[in-house]
Chains A and B, each alone.
Chain A
C-alpha cells in the first residue's frame, strides 16, 4: 500500500457474467491499487479480463462484488447519474478502434465531452485548441476522422479524452490498430501525459511496449491478477 492515497484502489473486486448455466468469471476477486501519476500497463492474453477490468475502472460496468475506489469515490455505490458524471469529469478513455464519430469534424469530436459537461460555449474553442496542441494536430482541425491516418485518429481520440482535464486516462489497446512506428509515437504521447501528472492505465497484450513505456506492469490471467511488478524490473 503506498504512503499517499492511491488514485485507484480495487478491493476483492469481481465481475461475473451468467451465460446460460455457466458463470463466466471475467474479473475474479482481484485487488489492486494504482498510484497517483502512475502509468500502469495491464498485460494478459485475450480473454484474461483486462478489458473488463478497464471498463470497471472506467465506470462503464459495475462489479458483481467488491469495491472500486477511484479518486475517493466508490464506484460500486454510485448512482447511474453519478457514474455518468464520474466518466465525464474524472476519466478519459481511448479505445483500440478510436471510436471517433465519423460525421463530425475533429473539432466537433473533441468538443463533445465539453458539451456533455455543459462547459460554456465561449470557453470551448480554446479548450479544443489546447487539446489539439497537446497531440500536435492543430492543422487538421476542420477535417473529418475518415480523412486522417490511424495514428492521427488515435491522437484525436487522446485529445478528446484529455479535453475535460481528467485525472485518469484509461487506454484499451491504444496501439492495436496501428503500425509499430505509429504505435510508439502514440505511447510516447501517453508517456508525456503521465509525466505531466496524469494517472494512466493501459491495456495491452504487447509485453515489449508495456516494458518500454509503463511504470508498472500487472499481468492478468483468467480474471485474476497473476503478478505485478515494475516495468524496469521486468525488463531486466
Chain B
C-alpha cells in the first residue's frame, strides 16, 4: 500500500477510538514532557554555567607571555636559538595579535601592590586594571553602585571586604574619593657605552617616582570578580584598565624587564590576555600566537572537563526523564493490542481483499508512529511549559533572596527534534509486537471472529 493511503487508513482508525487513542497519546505526551523538562533543566544549567564562565573569560582567554630566554634549573632551553633573543611582548606584538582572526580583544594585565589613602588613613592593597569588556562578565551583576563610566575614568570599584575596612557602611562610600599612591616608572637615559639597537642587552633602566591619583568610588562588588587568566581575586581595588596602564606603575615584573630589555622607555608587557570569539576557537588561536613566537596558556582543558561533566549530567537526567516515557510505551502496546482484538474481523477483510502481512503490519506501525508523533509534539509543549514554570518559581524564590533571576531551563531546537524523533522511535518499538501479531493473524480465523 502507498504511504499516503496507509496514513489515511491509520488516521481513520485512530479517529474511530478517539478517546482511548487520545489517552494513550496523552500518556506519551507526559513521558516526553518529563524527558524534555529534565533535559531542558540540564541544558539550561549548562548554558547558565557556560555563559558565566564564558563571560568570565576563563575559557575563551589565552594568556600570552614572552618566551623565557633563561634556562631553568636542569631544564634544556626550549625553542630559543642561542643567537636569537626571545621576542619582546610589546605594542607591535599586541597589534599583530589583535589582527589574528577570531580575536575579540587583547589587553595587558596591570596589577600592582600599592597604598591607598582614605580619610587620611593608609591602606595597603593590590590594584588591578579591569578591561571594559569585564562589565558584561557577570561578576558585576548585583553590585552596589555602578561600573566605570568610561574606560579612562578616574574611578574605583572596591571589593566588599576592602570597603568594610574603609567604612562600616560600605554603601556610604559611593561617591567619595580616595587617593591612590603609587610608584611611577620613569625611564633613564641609555648609557653611551651601550651599542645601539641591541635589545636584550642590559643597557638602561628606570627610576621610580612617587605619584598620587584621586579616584572616585563608584561601586562596591560583592563577589570576587574573576576575569582573564589568574583572575582578579586578590585585587581589592579595581580601576579602568586604560587608566591603570597610563599610570606606568612599577610592577613586580619590571626588574625582569630591565634584565631582558634595555629600552625601558618602550612599552613592553609581562603578559597579555587575548580573548577569542568562543572557546572552540582557542586551540587554533593558541597555535597562531605560538607561531608569532610567544608562550601561551589557556584553561581550555578545564572547559573540556566541564563539558564531560554536563554530558554525564544530561545523560542521567535523560534516563530519569525516560522512565515516564517507558511507562507510556506500555500504554501504546495495550491500546494496539486492544485494537487488534476489536479489529480482528477488519484485518481478515483486508487480507481477503489482498492486503499482505506487511501492509497490516505497517498500518499498525503508522498508528503507533502517529500517536508517538502527536504525543511528542504535545510532550515538547508540556515540557517547555514545565521548564518555564520551574524557572518562574525559582526566580520568585531568588527575588525574595535579593538575587538576580536566571534562565533555569532551555529547550533548544535540537532538543525539540530529538524528543520528537525519540517519541516516534519509542512508539514504533512499542508497536512492534502488536503490529507483528496483527500481521500474523490467520485471515480465515479473523473473518470468522464475531
Q: Hey, which bits of chain A sit against chain B, CB under 8 A?
A: 55, 58, 60-61, 80-81, 84-85, 87-89, 93, 95, 99, 101, 103-104, 112-113, 115-118, 121, 160, 164
Contacts and interface: CB of A to CB of B under 8 A. Distances in A.
B300 interface: no
B447 A95 contact: yes
B52 to A, nearest CB: 58
Interface in B66-81: none
A232 B2 CA distance: 47
B354 A84 contact: yes
Contact of B353 (A80, A88, A103, A104): A88
Given A61-B444, A113-B354, A117-B354, A99 B349 contact: yes
Nearest to A82: B356
What are the nearest 10 A-B pairs in CB distance? A88-B354, A84-B356, A115-B5, A87-B354, A60-B443, A116-B354, A113-B353, A99-B349, A60-B444, A61-B444
Interface in B351-400: 351-359
Contacts of B16: 103
A81 B358 CA distance: 8
Interface in B235-265: none
12 contacts: A60-B351, A60-B352, A60-B444, A80-B357, A81-B356, A81-B358, A88-B354, A88-B355, A99-B352, A103-B12, A104-B12, A118-B5
B190 interface: no
A84 B349 contact: no
A89 B346 CA distance: 19
Contacts of A55: 444
Contacts of A121: 4
A198 B347 CA distance: 27
Contacts of A115: 1-2, 5, 9
Nearest to A157: B349
Contacts of A116: 1, 350, 353-355, 359
Chain B interface secondary structure, helix, strand, loop or mixed? helix
Nearest to A116: B354
A118 B352 contact: no
B342 to A, nearest CB: 12
Interface residues of B, number: 24
B9, B16, B350, B353: which has the most chain A beta carbons within 10 Å?
B353
A84 B355 contact: yes
A150 B12 CA distance: 25
A89 B447 contact: no
B111 interface: no
Nearest to A161: B353
Nearest to A88: B354
Contact of A84 (B5, B357, B447): B357
A107 to B, nearest CB: 13
Nearest to B8: A115
Interface in B394-450: 443-444, 447
Contacts of A61: 444
B216 interface: no
A121 to B, nearest CB: 8
Nearest to B356: A84
A58, A87, A95: which has the most chain B beta carbons within 10 Å?
A87
Given A55-B444, A61-B444, A95-B447, A118 B353 contact: no
B185 interface: no
Contact of A101 (B346, B355, B359, B443): B346
